[in-house]
A and B are shown apart, each in its own frame.
Chain A
Amino acid sequence: MKKLFPFDWLVLPMVGIACAMLVWYGLSKTITPKVPTPLATWEECKVYVLEPFAKRSELDQGVLNFTRYSLVRVAKGFFLAVLIGVPTGFLLGMSPWFFKCFDLLFQILRPVSPLAWFPLGAALFTTFKQDALEYAALFTITVCAMWPTVLNTAVGVRAIPQDYLNVAKVLKLSAFQTLWKVMLPAVLPYMFTGFRLSLGIAWLVIVAAEMLTGNPGIGSFLNQEYLAGHYAPIIFCIIIIGVVGFILDRIMNVVERRFKTI
């Protein structure tokens, strides 16, 4: 039977969202009167959506402007994380010596919060004066986001079937050819899983990083509204951050599947 209505992927998720709205509405009407209702939130924040590219002042801009600033920052940090993470992951997967040297260190650094990395970044980049905080933000994003890429790449390298390496051996491929023609394509699916997770973390970290830098972006906007005691924009920001994160994940998911080599 042909489905007349996209029940599974449209109607039911909408039911879920409607439930959340209802709880939100209920709470704001009863025990948390300071939190605006969904409608009041929309009334207060629609200016950011209806004029998405407006720039009234540094910290009073349209939603797409803020999102763009944040995305550019995330892109830079993510790019650096990939650039450092992939070779590190290859070394970790290929060399037992490297693994023994650095595995413990990585396990210790991995759970450190972005809020802890940021001050270190600020100290590291003091020579850049007014740009110091921006670099500190990038540093924080990179350091926090690279681990999934490092670990997934390493797992992928270790999972390369011996068969493929035997082909490389009997065909006398050079070390570089083996890396480029055999290992890299074999590890690619694992790497993309790492990239997807890394991008997710980078987007998670951006809010914290921007709160601390104050440079324009979705995180600093949220922080400013928080300091000013405006609750509607905070809820609005949470929704925007969530939606953008979701879209990024979907995009990476498509790219990941595109690169499925096995």
Chain B
Amino acid sequence: MTSNYLSINGLIKSYPPATGKGDRLVIVDGFDLHVDEGEFITLIGHSGCGKSTVLMILAGLSTQTEGVITLGGNTLTGPGLDRGIVFQSPCLLPWLTAFENVMLSVDQGKPDWKKAERRDHAMKYLSLVGLQDAVHKKPAELSQGMRQRVGIARAFALQPKLLLLDEPFGMLDSLTRIELQQVLLDIWTQERMTAVMVTHDIDEAIFMADRVVMMTNGPRAKIGDIVPVPFARPRSRGELLESNEFYALRERLVGFLEELHHDHAPKPEPEPTAATPASPKLVTAPLSGNLS
């Protein structure tokens, strides 16, 4: 396993001011992250903090204003087939069947393979996401969860060096979400590719990740803290939910995010969060002095 397989150095994303005068609008201000090969990173932060911006830059769909990203020693410029992307909305082409959508990816990723090999490859990944019985259905005939399964199959079928997930379960109901987290984790466990996933679900961030990267609020967002997740893999949701360590971790993340929230939007009364029977003592996150 190579360390620093994915290396993000001094990433800055800014836009010229809308009026043409004044300071540039800085969305992401100095994002540094080093990811080992086969590591699963989740990126968490309040909405609008620029976490998706970072992911889109990694995907090559957006360009950084400053900073260098290397993947396996190569500097990334623009999109590439070395990265597989699962979008929030599955982004399937509606006139193609599930199989054809995955084939589009396989045809591009494995141009040297024989047709039959490519078909088998696409079918293999569709089976892995549990869609073997729906391969010839069009997206309109599939549920939202099934569409996202196709999206996952399409990304994995590329066998990319880096898997990028942009809130892939954000549009799903919670049961489907839990189901798909497991599906994703199962395939990932087999393939063990480096992965970066953006999410705003704290439980999901912990369940999936080797390390959780927390971003400060935008504009001028950067990394607030990085929390390693110690649980051994394969993980079971049930065991996780029974361990105290999980809750401690959860408190730490919630605490960090809440603190940011109050920092930026001071309110007379703190919002009670049902999910966090928080005892403030548990909030021990070193905030690395990055908060404005």
Give A contacts to B, CB under 8 Å.
163-164, 166-167, 169-173, 181-182, 185-186, 261-262
- Name 12 A/B residue pairs within 8 A (Cβ), A-sorted: A166-B61, A167-B93, A169-B61, A170-B59, A170-B79, A172-B79, A172-B80, A172-B108, A181-B93, A186-B95, A261-B95, A262-B94
Q: Which residue of B lies closest to A166 (CB)?
A: B61
Kindly list chain B residues whose C-beta atoms are within 8 Å of the C-beta of A173: 108
* Contact A181 to B59, CB < 8 A, known contacts A261-B95, A262-B94: no
Could you tell me if B61 and A163 are in contact, using CB atoms closer than 8 angstroms?
no
Kindly list chain A residues whose C-beta atoms are within 8 Å of the C-beta of B142: none
Kindly list chain A residues whose C-beta atoms are within 8 Å of the C-beta of B145: none
Q: Which residue of A lies closest to B92 (CB)?
A: A167
A143 to B91, CA, bound (A): 38
Shortest Cβ gap from B121 to chain A (Å): 15
Could you tell me if A185 and B83 are in contact, using CB atoms closer than 8 angstroms?
no
Q: Give per-residue flags for B107-144: 1 if the beta carbon is below 8 A from chain A beta carbons, else 0.
A: 01100000000000000000000000000000000000
Interface of A is mostly: helix
The answer, among B80, B91, B94, for a CB contact under 8 Å with A166, is: B91
A234 to B91, CA, bound (A): 56
Instruction: With a 10 A CB-CB cut-off, give which of A164, A167, A185 has the most chain B CB atoms.
Output: A167
* Contact A182 to B91, CB < 8 A, known contacts A169-B61, A170-B79, A171-B108: no
Interface of B is mostly: loop
Q: Which residue of B lies closest to A261 (CB)?
A: B95
Instruction: Indicate whether B159 reaches chain A with its CB closer than 8 angstroms.
Output: no
Q: Give per-residue flags for B65-84: 1 if the beta carbon is below 8 A from chain A beta carbons, else 0.
A: 00000000000000111010
Shortest Cβ gap from B2 to chain A (Å): 24
Shortest Cβ gap from A187 to chain B (Å): 11
Q: Which residue of A lies closest to B83 (CB)?
A: A170
Kindly list chain B residues whose C-beta atoms are within 8 Å of the C-beta of A182: 93
A163 to B166, CA, bound (A): 13
Could you tell me if A167 and B91 are in contact, using CB atoms closer than 8 angstroms?
yes
Question: What total of chain B residues lie within 8 Å of the partner, measured CB to CB?
Answer: 18
Instruction: Indicate whether B85 reaches chain A with its CB closer than 8 angstroms.
Output: yes
* Contact A169 to B60, CB < 8 A, known contacts A163-B87, A163-B89, A181-B104: yes
Q: Which residue of A lies closest to B59 (CB)?
A: A170
Further 8 A-B residue pairs, CB within 8 A, beyond A166-B91, A167-B91, A171-B104 = A164-B93, A166-B61, A170-B83, A170-B85, A172-B80, A172-B108, A173-B108, A186-B95
Q: Which residue of B lies closest to A182 (CB)?
A: B93
Could you tell me if A166 and B87 are in contact, using CB atoms closer than 8 angstroms?
yes
A167 to B13, CA, bound (A): 22
Instruction: Indicate whether B105 reaches chain A with its CB closer than 8 angstroms.
Output: yes
Could you tell me if B61 and A170 are in contact, using CB atoms closer than 8 angstroms?
yes
Could you tell me if A164 and B80 are in contact, using CB atoms closer than 8 angstroms?
no
A247 to B91, CA, bound (A): 38
Kindly list chain A residues whose C-beta atoms are within 8 Å of the C-beta of B79: 169-170, 172
A115 to B227, CA, bound (A): 77
Q: Which residue of A lies closest to B100 (CB)?
A: A181
Q: Which residue of B lies closest to A259 (CB)?
A: B95
Kindly list chain B residues whose C-beta atoms are within 8 Å of the C-beta of A169: 60-61, 79
Shortest Cβ gap from B18 to chain A (Å): 20
The answer, among B91, B95, B108, for a CB contact under 8 Å with A185, is: B95
Q: Which residue of A lies closest to B158 (CB)?
A: A171
A262 to B95, CA, bound (A): 7
Could you tell me if A261 and B94 are in contact, using CB atoms closer than 8 angstroms?
yes
Kindly list chain B residues whose C-beta atoms are within 8 Å of the C-beta of A186: 95
Q: Which residue of A lies closest to B108 (CB)?
A: A171
The 3 closest A-B pairs by CB, nearest first: A261-B95, A163-B91, A185-B95
Q: Which residue of B lies closest to A189 (CB)?
A: B95
Kindly list chain A residues whose C-beta atoms are within 8 Å of the C-beta of B85: 170
The residues in B between 15 and 69 inclusive whose CB is less than 8 angstroms from any CB of A are: 59-61
Shortest Cβ gap from B289 to chain A (Å): 36
Kindly list chain B residues whose C-beta atoms are within 8 Å of the C-beta of A185: 93, 95
Instruction: With a 10 A CB-CB cut-off, give which of B60, B87, B95 has the most chain A CB atoms.
Output: B95
* Contact A172 to B81, CB < 8 A, known contacts A163-B89, A166-B61: yes
Kindly list chain A residues whose C-beta atoms are within 8 Å of the C-beta of B95: 185-186, 261-262
Kindly list chain B residues whose C-beta atoms are within 8 Å of the C-beta of A261: 94-95
Q: Which residue of B lies closest to A164 (CB)?
A: B93
Could you tell me if B81 and A164 are in contact, using CB atoms closer than 8 angstroms?
no
Shortest Cβ gap from A130 to chain B (Å): 47
Q: Which residue of A lies closest to B101 (CB)?
A: A167
* Contact A171 to B60, CB < 8 A, known contacts A163-B89, A182-B93: no
Shortest Cβ gap from A180 to chain B (Å): 12
Could you tell me if A164 and B60 are in contact, using CB atoms closer than 8 angstroms?
no
Q: Which residue of A lies closest to B164 (CB)?
A: A170
Q: Which residue of A lies closest to B85 (CB)?
A: A170
Kindly list chain A residues whose C-beta atoms are within 8 Å of the C-beta of B80: 172
A169 to B89, CA, bound (A): 16
